[in-house]
Structures are given as C-alpha cells and as structure tokens.
Amino acid sequence: MSLGIWALFVPAAFALNMFPGPNNVLAMTHAARFGFATGVLAALGRFPPFAFFVLTAAVGLGAVLATSAELFAALKIVGAVYLIWLGVRMMRSGIAARAETEAGARIGTLAAREFWTAATNPKAMLVFTAFFAPFVDPARPAFGQILALGGVALGLEFVAVVLYATAGTHVGRFTRSPRGLLVVERLSGAALVAAGVGLLFARRPASP
C-alpha cells in the first residue's frame, strides 16, 4: 500500500476511533471512578471483539452481516438491550456506586463490560468492513491489506483509549464528592441508554 493511502487512512481511522461511542464512554467513566490505570486496563476488553471484526472483515463475513436482515436484526436487539440495561444500572447505582469506588473495582468485571459492549454491536463490524473498503487496492489480495489496515486501526484505538481515560481522570476530580459521582454516573448511563436506543432503530446498509 502506498504512503498516500496511509496518509489518508490514519487520520480518518483516528477520527473514527475518537467517536464518543459506548466503549469510549465506558473508558472515560471507569477512569473517572477508579483511576487512569484501571480505565485503560479495563478497556483492553474491547480489543478481542474488534480484532475478530477485523479478521471477519478480511474474510468477508462483514458483507454477510450487511446483507442478512435476520442476522443484523438479532444482533442489534441483543446489543441494544445490553446497552440499555447497563445504562439503566449505572443511572440507578447511587450508593452502590460510591461503595464500589471505596472498595475498588475488579478489572475483570469492568473489562467484561467493555467486551460485551463491543461484541454485541453489529454496527462495529459493518463500520470496519465499509471503512476499510475504500483503502483496499483491488489489484492486490484484500486479505493482507485489511489485516494491515485493521492492525493500524487497533493501534489507534488504544491511543483513543488513553485519551478518553485521561479525560476521565480529570472528570474524576469532580467525582470525589458524592454529588459529582452521581452526576457522572447518570450522564454516562443516559449516554449508554441513548446509544442502545439508537442501535435498536439502526437500519442495515442497503444491499448493493
């Protein structure tokens, strides 16, 4: 792939990684409540699903999802329900959230939130498939090109994680008070509920 293609791909991919989607909301919230290191370590839970999406895009399964109304509908309902459930739970956490902050968070539990938020979002696979396509040289095998693009995209995703976790630590100064923590929990929960509702009403791309 030419340097010109990479010069276009890298900033576009980074802008996509920085979009304030559900996983980035989680990274910022976790860092606000439990600290920078916990927010970053928990965010590693999103990478196995994202890496799987890159691999499936390389072998063409993303196209299958894009053309299967039944599969897309099933996955988006599961993903939407999970996001709404998680968001409502965060908004209703209240005293339990403060107790969890004092006791410390279990990385595995927070990483599982990241994992399932990423894994149950069919739009993520479609984004990977649709986004990589314009940067692939049709005169060369697509598999290796998509893996290369995906590897760079995942690296940029980690940079986005660090930036969101850093932002979360600044928000964390506000959450040192019970009122501040409650505000952050409710705003983050509302963002996840909104993302879930948006996913529920999302339409699959039209077949070419």
Which pLDDT score, from 0 to 100, does residue 47 have? 95
Which pLDDT score, from 0 to 100, does residue 152 have? 93
Which pLDDT score, from 0 to 100, does residue 1 have? 65
Task: Give the torsion through C-alpha atoms of 146, 158, 112, 65, to 10 deg.
Answer: -20
> At how many degrees (to 10) do helices 142-174 and 178-200 cross?
150
Which residues of the chain are under the pLDDT cut of 50? 95-99, 102-103, 205-208
Which pLDDT score, from 0 to 100, does residue 156 have? 93
Which pLDDT score, from 0 to 100, does residue 85 have? 76
Which pLDDT score, from 0 to 100, does residue 121 have? 75
Which pLDDT score, from 0 to 100, does residue 37 have? 92
Which pLDDT score, from 0 to 100, does residue 29 have? 87
Which pLDDT score, from 0 to 100, does residue 96 have? 46
pTM, two decimals, is 0.70
Q: Give the helix ranges, DSSP H, for the chain.
A: 3-17, 22-34, 36-43, 47-59, 61-67, 69-91, 95-103, 107-119, 122-132, 142-174, 178-200
Which pLDDT score, from 0 to 100, does residue 129 have? 67
Close Cβ partners of 135 (under 8 Å, ≥ 6 residues apart): 1, 5, 8, 9, 145, 149
Which pLDDT score, from 0 to 100, does residue 46 have? 94
